[in-house]
Structure 1
Amino acid sequence: MNVPAVGHLGPPRLTAGLDQVERLDRRAHLAVHGELRPLGLEAALDLAERIGLRGRGGAGFPFARKLRAVAQSAQRRGLPVTVVVNGTEGEPASWKDKALLTRAPHLVLDGAALAAHALGAENIVIGVADDGVATDSVLAAVAERRMPAPTRLVTMPHRFISGESGALIRGINGDIPIPPGRKSLASDAGVGGRPTLLSNAETYAQLAVAARLGPYAFAEVGTTDEPGTVLLTVGGSARRPAVLEVPTGVPLMDVLDLCAATIGPGVLLGGFHGKWITAAAASRAVVSRAGLAEVGGTLGAGIMLPLGDGTCPLGEATRVLRYLAGQSAGQCGPCQLGLPDLARAMAALSDGSGGAASLDQIRTAAGGVRGRGACSHPDGTARFALSAVETFTPDIAAHLTRDGCGDPVRGVLPLPDGENSTAGRLVVDWSRCDGHGLCAQLAPELITLDANGYPSLSDAPVPPWLATGARKAIAMCPALALRQDA
């Protein structure tokens, strides 16, 4: 896996020096950015508040509030603090944190060191994916410098939900890295049950930049409400995909033009838990949380995926929903039942088998999972699906009134290797199937019956938590018509 090209639109800060060298080691880092003085807690809080620093992992939580909550929890309970850098980036379309950790790791470590010094932290933990992209760079960077607290690296499975904060905390604690299933605050009980400051790699890097510049110089670029720059991962139809650093407030079209991207039916903003916007909305959008929300989008984790022309948008949405259904932890009903239903309904709309009723099924399935999951995965997946049906109305009309939009599904939206394979999917031998319907009773999460009583299957791989039901349905099929591709 190779990190995309890194560039900038406007003055480089996070990306400074990366046009000269492939990776900033400690010496090159100091030559570009200069020395960094530690900050006390009050100074760190004041800086984060004055620049309006928010988490850059997607949720956008104010960093100063998180920092204060950890400090207060540690004081109240008399426990030491852990600082966690979340660089797992399980979202397959996102590369900005990996770009920082592989090419400018010391900037991230600077921010973690600032936070650790301000909080008097006992240790620092850096979480990365087990895809091998950032591991060597981070280990080398830690070895090149002295941190204010013992610093270690942990690797997480490269899965969508492994980047969720609760999943990362569980993984660091030695548990299975899935969301904990109940709402809890890392500031109260994180690593080892201690108060924990957890934020993503870009957030810490932004803190390090601001500490060197000061709040006034930091705000010389960007908008008044959202000063500074943001890192964006631009992919999809872009002929020059890249991780770009841009000041907030720049037109979205400037970013897409720089990456030679065509929009087509729409642009997905914020990644697979984000929102679609039309080409018309993209033409007037500016890059900021407020600016993108104004046109119905979201900044999220800074992912911009224009769809381009020549691919079926509903087919692309179906691919992603199948992937998201398979990426859940499978520990609650909305994920186990609702997300496969949502993926099936979108597939029925895309291939025309569901007709107009499939639109209602999408809305019903999305409404059934929102606000009911053990984590935010069902909410984000529902948001993606509902945004697709709201944005792609001309294509939906073509699928309902004709034999589709006429475009193939080209796989413009990025999925991990192997996600498009047919391995692991349930398959029916139609020359044998007699429509007994027993399979749908044994594996209702995977199989439904059509109007004629014959099985209707999702062509998504069988997720691990449904494997037992799939095997039972295969074994008990009276006609021996059901199998699972190896």
Structure 2
Amino acid sequence: MTGPLPDVPEVRVVGLPQLTSGFDLVERLDLAMHLKVHGPLDPVGGERLAALSDEISLRGRGGAGFPFATKLRAVAQAAIKRGVRPVVVVNGSEDEPACRKDTVLINRGPHLILDGALLAAEALGARTLIIGVTRDSTEASMTAALAERGLTDRRGSALRARVQRNPARMVTGEASALIRSADGGPPLPPGRRVRAAESGVGGAPTLLSNAETFAQLAVAARVGANRYRATGLFDEPGTVLLTLSGDVSRPMVVEVPTGVPLRYVLQLAGAPPLPQGVLTGGYHGSWLSATAAHDAVVSRASLKALGGSLGAGAVLPLGNDTCPLGEALQVANWLASESAGQCGPCRLGLPAAANGLADVLNGGGPAALEALREVTRAVRGRGACKHPDGSANFLASTLAAFPDDLAAHVLSGGCGRETRALLPLPGAGHQDPGAPSGERLAVDWTLCQGHGLCADVVPELIQLGPDGFPTVADAAVPLALRGVAQRAVRRCPALALRLERTGTGAAADRPARAALPSPPGRKALDSGRG
């Protein structure tokens, strides 16, 4: 396939459906149809819910694979210790172009997700539920689902529930970015590690997991651990949702029991019989060779043992008629553009890595390859979030997975194949919020009095020095932070902060607006505050 994936691609099932039950009957299960298909669900006590999660070996399905029971117990203990009500957050922010499983669940079976989230909220005594989304379709479906259950965000409700809409960006799906936006801040990682189980939304202990995880919990609570474990592998029971795209004839989301051979799933989607490589885990994942893909089964352990990754469940095969390094370069450029612009390894390192791969493809030889490897190593472990690490892992895996193509480009000037753009990326017209806005924050030091409000409003760009005055070493403003930068300018009581054009970026591309005349009867020096 070429071009971006639709929000809701074709859905298929291998074996008996669990998460996708009822999808063959209607396009979307409203509450009435949901109850007909799945039946009612009784509350489960906190420790019993944790024990159930342990018995079915439930791990987060958003990529990290953290044990759900451990997270649940940690939130409960922190809430009891501090004497506060915890918060439950469903992460439905699926912003990677190769992933659609959570989007499909929210669009077609939102009440299964809500079942799991409400089970956890009841068990923990939470009084706040937040569902993070980034698409028009998921926002509409989840808003409707809350209304169907009579759940609102009105003060005084037994459970306040709301949908948190964020921009569709790679970094907004990171847990700390979702928590930060739920608190009214920018949907960006804060640049420091904070355990949500101890201090999340509003500083309260927060249980945050992705949409599929809560749906799996709801299935297990209905059928019981023994019946749930009857499907799939002994050590990884149940089913998995995978998104199949890349060089396939039918992009799809498929529900499959763990233990099914990966080659069968690829065949189901119409992948080449002998792909030159299969990207597993999405654009922060790793490549499998054709041999490894033939031997792998769908499970976290199997894929990891063969050098792959289950991650967020994206699987992307590549046939032999496209240049894999050219395909990887397009992804690397997109990953670099998704930087939040908050830290050097991301803002500078990822574009440098993408440019390094381009140099290799353009005949830079061994020196270009060594420079690429050096910058990839330098990015790891130094970012404000996991985006630089995941992007570096993708590039390192690409170099390791295609040695013959790499040798052809480094030593012979190319592999002789065109790049078919088979790996899905956002379509034309996508405005990258991580791109520069063409403006920078500047301080008029003759006016600055060191109030420090600017550092509170936009800490991503401005910090306070030892003397209490702002330090603005490099305050280039990305599109994602332009609104909050404008707020910082408006809030400066000394009027010492301003936005300046840099000559490049989105602002520079816009035509200058004509000066507006003053309204009649209004003095030029009026405050004009309104």
User: Are 2:136 and 1:132 equivalent residues in the alignment?
Assistant: yes
What residue identity is the alignment partner of 2:55? Answer: R
Q: Which residue of 2 aligns with 1:143?
A: 147
Please tell me whether the aligned partners of residues 23 and 102 of structure 1 are also in contact (alpha carbons under 8 angstroms). yes
Q: 2:216 aligns with which of 191, 196, 206?
A: 206
Whether the aligned pair in 1 keeps the contact of 2:435 and 2:479 (CA below 8 Å) is no
How big is the shift at 1:144?
1.3
Q: Which one is further off, 114-123 or 2-11?
A: 2-11
Structure 1 residue 400 displacement after superposition: 2.2
Query: In the alignment, does 2:199 pair up with 1:189?
Result: yes
Residues 15-414 of structure 1: pairs in structure 2 closer than 5 A: 15-129=20-134, 131-146=135-150, 149-262=159-272, 264-352=275-363, 354-414=364-424
Change (3 A) 1:266 1:3: same
The structural deviation recorded for 1:399 is 1.2
- 1:160-201 C-alpha deviation (Å, 9 max, x unpaired): 111000111111111110011000011111111111110000
Q: Is the 8 A contact 1:154 1:172 kept in 2?
A: yes
- For residues 332-354 of structure 1, give each alpha carbon's deviation from its aligned partner in whole angstroms, at most 9, with x where no partner exists: 111122111111111111222x2
2:311 is matched by which residue type in structure 1?
G
Flag the 1:421–1:101 CA change in 2: closer, same or farther, 3 A: closer
Question: How many angstroms does 1:404 deviate by?
Answer: 1.3
Q: Give distance in 2, aligned partners of 1:208 and 1:126.
A: 16
Give the aligned residue type for 2:76. A
Query: Aligned residue for 1:436?
Result: none
SS at match of 1:35: coil
CA contact (8 A) 1:425 1:484 kept: no
Partner of 1:447: none
| Separation of aligned partners in 2, 1:68 and 1:421 | 41
Deviations 1:385-431, CA, capped at 9 Å, x for gaps: 00000001111122123331122111111111238999x999xxxxx
Mapped partners of 1:40, 1:277: distance in 2? 42
**Match of residue 13, structure 1, among 13, 18, 31:** 18
- Tell me the SS of whatever aligns to 1:280: helix
- Paired AA for residue 355 in structure 2: R
Question: Secondary structure of the equivalent of 1:152?
Answer: strand
Are the counterparts in 1 of residues 408 and 415 from structure 2 also a CA contact under 8 Å? yes
**Alpha-carbon distance change, 142 to 464 in structure 1, aligned in 2, over 3 angstroms:** closer
**Residue 9 of structure 1: how far off its partner (Å):** 0.7
Q: How much does 1:81 deviate?
A: 1.0
| Offset at residue 21 of structure 1 (A) | 1.2
Aligned length: 440
SS in 2 for 1:365: helix
SS class of match (1:356):
helix
TM-aligned CA distance change 1:359 to 1:255, over 3 Å: same
Report deviation, 1:225. 0.8
Q: Find the residue that maps to 1:244 and give its secondary structure.
A: strand
Distance 1:350 1:117, change over 3 A: same
Q: Secondary structure at the match of 1:202?
A: helix
CA distance in 1, matches of 2:57, 2:122: 21
Which structure has the greater CA radius of gyration?
2
Structure 2 counterpart of 1:133, one-letter code? S
Structure 2: how far apart are the matches of 1:36 and 1:77? 30
Output the TM-score relative to the length of structure 2. 0.79
Distance 2:79 2:430 in 1: 47
Whether the aligned pair in 1 keeps the contact of 2:262 and 2:296 (CA below 8 Å) is: yes
Report deviation, 1:121: 0.4
SS of the residue corresponding to residue 68 of structure 1 reads helix
Deviation at 1:466, TM superposition (A): 12
Q: Deviations over 1:9-52 (max 9, x none)?
A: 11100011101211111111111111111111011011001111
Counterpart residue identity of residue 108, structure 1: I
Deviates more, 1:173-182 or 1:146-155: 146-155
Q: Which AA in structure 2 matches 1:160?
A: M
Query: Could you tell me which residue of structure 2 aligns to residue 452 of structure 1?
Result: none
Unaligned stretches of 5+ in structure 2? 1-5, 152-157, 437-476, 483-498, 512-530
CA distance in 2, matches of 1:421, 1:183: 29
TM-score (norm 1): 0.86
Give 1:464 shift: 4.9
- Whole-Å Cα distance in 1 between the matches of residues 46 and 269 of structure 2? 40
Name the counterpart of 2:465: none
Contact 1:323 1:419 in 2 (8 A): no
Root-mean-square deviation (CA, aligned residues, Å) is: 2.5
Q: Percent identity?
A: 54
Partners in 1 of 2:50 and 2:87 — Cα distance? 17
Q: CA deviation at 1:358?
A: 2.0
Relative to structure 2, which stretch is displaced further, 206-215 or 136-145?
A: 136-145
Alignment partners' CA distance in 1, 2:189 and 2:141: 27
